[in-house]
Chains A and B, each alone.
Chain A
Amino acid sequence: MSTVETPVASSNEAPPPSPLKRIATYAANQQFILFLVLIGVMIFFDFHNTRFFGTSEFTNLLVDFSEAVLIAAAEMYVITSGGIDLSVGSTIAVSTVVGAYAIQYLEGHHFGEFPSLLVGTFVCAGVGGVVGTINALLITKARLVPFVATLVTLSMGEGLALVFSKGGTVGYDPAAAVWSSTGFWIFRWLTLIVLGITVILGIVLHVSRYGRYNFAIGSNPFAARAAGINVNRHVASVYVLSGVLAGLTGMIWYFNSSGGAPQNGIGNELEAIAAVVIGGVSLVGGVGRFSGIILGVAILTVVHDGLVFINVATTWNEVVVAGFIALAAVLQSLSSGSKRRT
Chain B
Amino acid sequence: MKSRSMRLIQGAAVASTLAASVFTFVGGTAAVANAASKKFTVAYVVGAASDPFFLSMKAGASAEAKKLGINLVWQGNPSVYSSATQIPIVQTLLAIKPSALVLAPTDTKALQPLVAQYIAKKIPVFNVDSGDANQSNITSWVTGNNLQGGQAAADALASAMGYAKNCTAASKCVVAIGVSSITTSTDAARLKGFAAEVAKKYPNIKALNPIVSNSQPAVATSGFKQDLAANKVSGIFAIDGTDLEGAAQAILTAGSAAKSIKVVGYDAYATTIKSMQAGKISAIISQQPALEGKDIIDAVYAKLTGKGKISHLTTLANIVLTPANCAKLCATYVYKTA
Decide if A and B touch, CB cutoff 8 A: yes
What 0/1 pattern do residues 4 to 40 of B give for CB contact below 8 A with A?
A: 0110011011101100000000000000000000000
Q: In the complex, what distance in Å separates the CA atom of A73 from the CA atom of B217?
A: 23
Known: A177-B249, A256-B221. A168 touches B269 (CB 8 A): yes
User: B218–A267 contact, CB under 8 A?
Assistant: no
Max chain A Cβ within 10 angstroms of own Cβ: one of B248, B249, B255: B249
Known: A167-B48, A167-B50, A256-B249. A158 touches B13 (CB 8 A): yes
Which residues of A160-176 are within 8 A (CB) of B?
162-163, 166-169, 172, 174
User: A256–B271 contact, CB under 8 A?
Assistant: no
**A67 contacts B by Cβ under 8 Å:** yes
User: A151–B1 contact, CB under 8 A?
Assistant: no
Which residues of A238-263 are within 8 A (CB) of B?
253, 256-259, 261-263
Known: A177-B253, A263-B242. A308 touches B226 (CB 8 A): yes
Residues on A with C-beta less than 8 A from B172 are none
| Partner-binding segment picked from A32-40, A290-298, A315-323 | A315-323
User: A167–B208 contact, CB under 8 A?
Assistant: no
What 0/1 pattern do residues 288 to 319 of A give for CB contact below 8 A with B?
A: 00000000000010001110111111110110
User: B12–A266 contact, CB under 8 A?
Assistant: no
Known: A155-B14, A172-B271, A263-B242. A315 touches B208 (CB 8 A): no
**B182 contacts A by Cβ under 8 Å:** yes
- Tell me which of B17, B217, B230, B255 contacts A264 (CB under 8 A): B217
**B79 contacts A by Cβ under 8 Å:** yes
Q: How far is the CB of A65 from chain B (nearest CB, A)?
A: 11
User: B212–A168 contact, CB under 8 A?
Assistant: no
**A211 contacts B by Cβ under 8 Å:** no
Q: How far is the CB of B230 from chain A (nearest CB, A)?
A: 4
**B60 contacts A by Cβ under 8 Å:** no
Q: How far is the CB of A44 from chain B (nearest CB, A)?
A: 14
Residues on A with C-beta less than 8 A from B221 are 256-257
Chain A's interface size range is: 35 or more
User: A159–B78 contact, CB under 8 A?
Assistant: yes
- Tell me which of A86, A159, A169 contacts B245 (CB under 8 A): A169
Q: In the complex, what distance in Å separates the CA atom of A264 from the CA atom of B218?
A: 6
Q: In the complex, what distance in Å separates the CA atom of A52 from the CA atom of B246?
A: 21
Max chain B Cβ within 10 angstroms of own Cβ: one of A158, A181, A322: A158
**A287 contacts B by Cβ under 8 Å:** no
Chain B's interface size range is: 35 or more
**B149 contacts A by Cβ under 8 Å:** no
**B209 contacts A by Cβ under 8 Å:** yes
Q: In the complex, what distance in Å separates the CA atom of A174 from the CA atom of B218?
A: 14
User: A266–B216 contact, CB under 8 A?
Assistant: yes
Residues on B with C-beta less than 8 A from A317 are 1
Residues on B with C-beta less than 8 A from A107 are none
Residues on B with C-beta less than 8 A from A262 are 79
Q: In the complex, what distance in Å separates the CA atom of A306 from the CA atom of B227?
A: 10
- Tell me which of A86, A256, A313 contacts B9 (CB under 8 A): A86
Max chain A Cβ within 10 angstroms of own Cβ: one of B221, B223, B231: B221
Q: How far is the CB of B229 from chain A (nearest CB, A)?
A: 4
Q: Which residue of B lies closest to A174 (CB)?
A: B252
Known: A167-B52, A257-B246, A321-B1. A158 touches B226 (CB 8 A): no
| Chain B interface, DSSP helix/strand/loop, else mixed | helix
User: A155–B229 contact, CB under 8 A?
Assistant: no
Q: Which residue of B lies closest to A165 (CB)?
A: B50
User: B216–A56 contact, CB under 8 A?
Assistant: no
Q: Which residue of A lies closest to B5 (CB)?
A: A270
- Tell me which of B3, B226, B253 contacts A270 (CB under 8 A): B3
Q: In the complex, what distance in Å separates the CA atom of A158 from the CA atom of B249?
A: 23
**A49 contacts B by Cβ under 8 Å:** yes
**B293 contacts A by Cβ under 8 Å:** no
Residues on A with C-beta less than 8 A from B246 are 257
Which residues of B202-218 are within 8 A (CB) of A?
208-212, 214-218
Q: How far is the CB of B205 from chain A (nearest CB, A)?
A: 14
User: A167–B223 contact, CB under 8 A?
Assistant: no
- Tell me which of B55, B78, B218, B222 contacts A305 (CB under 8 A): B222
Known: A167-B79, A270-B6, A315-B212. A151 touches B12 (CB 8 A): yes
Q: In the complex, what distance in Å separates the CA atom of A223 from the CA atom of B1?
A: 39
Residues on B with C-beta less than 8 A from A322 are 3
**A219 contacts B by Cβ under 8 Å:** no
Q: How far is the CB of A264 from chain B (nearest CB, A)?
A: 5
Beyond A180-B253, A258-B245, A308-B226, 5 extra complex contacts between A and B, CB < 8 Å: A86-B9, A181-B252, A256-B253, A257-B249, A261-B218
A-B contact pairs, 22 of them (CB 8 A): A57-B226, A64-B222, A151-B13, A154-B9, A154-B13, A159-B78, A163-B78, A167-B52, A167-B79, A168-B269, A177-B252, A181-B253, A257-B217, A257-B246, A259-B245, A261-B245, A263-B242, A264-B217, A305-B226, A306-B226, A308-B211, A308-B227
Q: Which residues of B contact A (CB under 8 A)?
A: 1-3, 5-6, 9-10, 12-14, 16-17, 48, 50-52, 55, 78-79, 182, 208-212, 214-218, 221-223, 225-227, 229-231, 242, 245-246, 248-249, 252-255, 269, 271, 337
Q: Which residues of A contact B (CB under 8 A)?
A: 49, 51-52, 54, 56-57, 60, 63-64, 67, 86, 151, 154-155, 158-159, 162-163, 166-169, 172, 174, 177-178, 180-181, 253, 256-259, 261-267, 270-271, 300, 304-306, 308-315, 317-318, 321-322
4 closest Cβ pairs, A-B complex: A167-B50, A155-B13, A308-B226, A181-B253
